[in-house]
Structure 1
Amino acid sequence: MKIIHYCQHVLGMSHFFRSLEIAKALDKEEVLFVAGGERPNQPLPPNVEYRQLPGLCMNENFGGLMPTEEGRELEEVKTERSATLFKIFEEEKPDVFLIELFPFGRKAFRFELLPVLDAVKEGRFGDVKVVCSLRDILVERNDGGKHEARVVKYLNKYFDLLLIHADPKIAALDETFQAFKQIEIPCEYTGFAARKPAENKRDKIRADLEVSADEKLLIASAGGGKVGGPLMQATLESFIRLNSEKCRLLMLSGPFLDDDKYAALCATAKPYKNITIQRFASDFTDLLTAGDAMISMAGYNTCMDILTSCIPSAVFPFAQNHEQRMRAERLAKYIPLKILDSTDMLIMTTAISDLLGQNRNRSDHGINLKGANKSADLIRNLRKI
């Protein structure tokens, strides 16, 4: 089976890594992973061929699309992307078109998606099944229901299946999408699509990081990095004030953190031998098994990594919308999870000390984390119908 998997991340990296986890689960299939954001330095599984569209992204205020390549015009990039995506379909004629988030989000990318979906519906590429791959919680909209009406219209017209990557006891789609009952295509909860850390690597990773047996390792992560700068700065300054010789800090700023902000973090940390700052770690989930505590944002992937690694954690939800806070508050009912707010940023030393004093969380939280495998099974079964 040949699958074109379309994923467009514009701010963070959760969309990319969740999609990649599903592509891994489709290990017996040929997956063309078509992406249009900046590519993280992450190895791909053997069944996945990466196709890069000319890059587009948004700023942290969601102020509209802009090219990732300096000097390019937006309309020029959009025209090239649309032609490239359509050509891929003409040449590859896939069995399945798997689209991450759209039509629930990524409205700005209708210019390239709708021409392909119209052509699929007309049968120009053969018998192609269209599947929407959707996260747990949607961003709020205040437009009188226009967005939801448009979503339902596109789903019922173009799509064959909706996969909801959530455990409904944590987050059910109808909580953040009021028109759920108007969806006519099959809708399946898959469980959360979570990355799994490697087993029995804690000692080796700690040795590689030169963390001794009597030291505590705090990991701080900003996800993609575009909106995590203030959290990283507060964590770094608080860790320095903590002044503990038995603690080490590994900070992952995110690959998309502004260069000047990254340089400022590095300059602040330079005098301290127990602080390491990197932009990105491809083995992030493995690192968490070697850490003793983590401070991070509350994106989808990071929260799943907390669940799979069982690391004591504090999260600072993105304030622009309710998605991250809602997810964190729901998960905090099942695991010990400190949710930070703006006042906590002033007293981070207390939060860090509390975290480093905790034991590792229990793994029997009962939350369904098998979403990638179930998604793969449902996609395969769709072709058998």
Structure 2
Amino acid sequence: MKIAFYCQHILGIGHFQRSLLLCRALLARGHRLTLILGGPEIEVTDSRIEVLQLPGLRMDAEFGGLLPCDEGAGLADIKEQRQKMLYQFFQEEEPDIFITELYPMGRKAFRFELDPVLQGIDQGSLAPCFCCSSVRDILVEKSSGREKFEERAVKTLNRYFDGLLIHADANIISLDETFARTAEVVIPKYYTGFIAPEMAARGGGVAQKEDDLPLVIASIGGGSVGGELLEAVASASQEGTFRLKIFCGRYSSAELKLRLEQYRSPLIEIVTFSHDFQREMEAADLSISMAGYNTCMNILRAGTPALLYPFQQNREQGLRVKKLGIYREIQILSEADLPATRLRERIEEMLGYEKFMSKVELDGAMNSALQVEAWFEKFTAEDHNA
């Protein structure tokens, strides 16, 4: 099958990383796949993945709207270019399956380019295509206009989509906890389990520790937010009873990196990112991070004790920490914990915990691939019999 996978990472890299794991599962099943991107520049290292790169858009500093990644470009011109490129791709390539990451349950700012494609498929001006939405465990709730947003999302799903993949374990959290009108979505819905990478130990072993000192890793995903956490951890880690490895993130500011460099020492290492973060997580005795989807899945797969500092802009990460609180080895950090003395106490306490075994369903990538195949087989059979 020819699959088009649409993913727009406009703030961090979480959506991209989760989509990449799902793409690899689809490739493992023998399908041809094009990943459609259009956020800040990012490298796709898997040569099996074909990439359609749309002119880049990113989130503005106030989280209020989109801006061109090319500062000299006009937003209207970029949108027009993107819309034409995306529509032309479907005219020329005629994919069998179209998967949209988050849309229409998010990413409404991109409906200018997605709706013409979905309408074209629905109305027959584009080739028939099975359309599927791929959403994470928790949706970012709207501070205003929620009822209108949910009404539109339900109508769009029911009109233009054929299936909804929910990348969560329903025993931990269900979609209706952050999307009140889930019951009104009449297309097939499937809880895939969480999408987590495979254990690094299966592919060549975990990272090797330098000595017997405990290893703490600190990270903030892509690095767009959360710098205060990394600085607090660095400040609390100067007494030399454990090793610390800090991951700044691809999009961290030069100013943050410069401030962190002041803490560099034989026991404090500072890097931008890792191409195999799961391997780093498995080597660690403690992870300190924000509570994004992907980092939490790294933690659950590795069974590494964790201190989680939820992003405060919305309640997504706080809710995720609450749901994962079934494990005593996963605990929350608040702003009150960031002063050096207090944070060091929390770190020392958490280093007393052993690795744990997660019972959460974490094979969501392959489960998704198998479900999409099953849906598509039924879709083509119904189309043939029509």
TM-score normalised by length of structure 1? 0.93
Partner residue, 1:265: 260
When residues 40 and 332 of structure 1 are mapped into structure 2, their CA distance, relative to the original with a 3 A threshold, is farther
**What's the offset of the Cα at 1:144?**
5.1
Structure 2 distance, partners of 1:238, 1:11, is 28
**What's the offset of the Cα at 1:311?**
0.8
When residues 335 and 42 of structure 1 are mapped into structure 2, their CA distance, relative to the original with a 3 A threshold, is farther
Partner residue, 2:100: 99
User: Could you tell me which of 365, 368, 382 is aligned with 2:375?
Assistant: 382
User: Could you tell me which of 310, 315, 322 is aligned with 1:322?
Assistant: 315
Partner residue, 2:147: 145
Partner residue, 1:89: 90
- The total of aligned residue pairs comes to 373
Deviations 1:288-325 (A, max 9, x none): 11111110000000110000011111010000111001
Decide whether the 8 Å contact of 1:3 with 1:94 is kept in 2.
yes
Decide whether the 8 Å contact of 1:41 with 1:282 is kept in 2.
no
Deviations 1:245-282 (A, max 9, x none): x421111011111122222212x124x12211111111
**What's the offset of the Cα at 1:39?**
4.0
Structure 1 distance, partners of 2:63, 2:4, is 27
Partner residue, 2:113: 112
Structure 2 distance, partners of 1:200, 1:190, is 22
**What's the offset of the Cα at 1:111?**
0.8
Decide whether the 8 Å contact of 1:202 with 1:290 is kept in 2.
no
Partner letter of residue 351 of structure 2? Answer: L
Partner letter of residue 269 of structure 1? Answer: Y
Structure 2 distance, partners of 1:369, 1:60, is 33
Partner of 1:121: helix, strand, or coil? helix
What pairs up with 1:36-47 in 2 under 5 angstroms? Answer: 36-41=38-43, 43-44=45-46, 46-47=47-48
**What's the offset of the Cα at 1:119?**
0.9
**What's the offset of the Cα at 1:206?**
2.0
C-alpha RMSD of the superposition: 1.7
Gaps of 5+ in 1: none
Partner of 1:373: helix, strand, or coil? helix
**What's the offset of the Cα at 1:59?**
3.5
Decide whether the 8 Å contact of 1:156 with 1:183 is kept in 2.
yes
User: Could you tell me which of 179, 187, 192 is aligned with 2:189?
Assistant: 187
Structure 1 distance, partners of 2:103, 2:146, is 20
Structure 1 distance, partners of 2:18, 2:154, is 23
Decide whether the 8 Å contact of 2:329 with 2:350 is kept in 1.
no
Between 11-20 and 294-303, report the one with greater CA deviation.
11-20
2:350 is the counterpart of 1:355: yes
Partner of 1:57: helix, strand, or coil? strand
Structure 1 distance, partners of 2:5, 2:61, is 25
Decide whether the 8 Å contact of 2:196 with 2:364 is kept in 1.
yes
Structure 1 distance, partners of 2:37, 2:260, is 30
2:2 is the counterpart of 1:2: yes
Gaps of 5+ in 2: 379-386
Partner of 1:226: helix, strand, or coil? coil
**What's the offset of the Cα at 1:51?**
1.9
**What's the offset of the Cα at 1:356?**
2.4
Partner of 2:237: helix, strand, or coil? helix
What pairs up with 1:1-385 in 2 under 5 angstroms? Answer: 1-27=1-27, 28-41=30-43, 43-44=45-46, 46-59=47-60, 61-141=62-142, 142-143=144-145, 145-199=147-201, 205-206=207-208, 211-212=210-211, 214-240=212-238, 243-244=239-240, 246-266=241-261, 268-270=262-264, 272-346=265-339, 347-361=342-356, 363=357, 365-385=358-378
**What's the offset of the Cα at 1:42?**
5.1
**What's the offset of the Cα at 1:222?**
0.7
Structure 1 distance, partners of 2:193, 2:153, is 22
Superposed structure 1 runs of 4+ greater than 6 Å apart: 200-204
Decide whether the 8 Å contact of 1:29 with 1:47 is kept in 2.
no
**What's the offset of the Cα at 1:124?**
2.6
Work out the percentage of aligned pairs sharing the same amino acid.
41
TM-score normalised by length of structure 2? 0.93
Decide whether the 8 Å contact of 1:228 with 1:253 is kept in 2.
no
When residues 89 and 200 of structure 1 are mapped into structure 2, their CA distance, relative to the original with a 3 A threshold, is closer
**What's the offset of the Cα at 1:41?**
4.0
Structure 1 distance, partners of 2:294, 2:231, is 22
Decide whether the 8 Å contact of 2:329 with 2:353 is kept in 1.
no
Decide whether the 8 Å contact of 1:165 with 1:371 is kept in 2.
yes
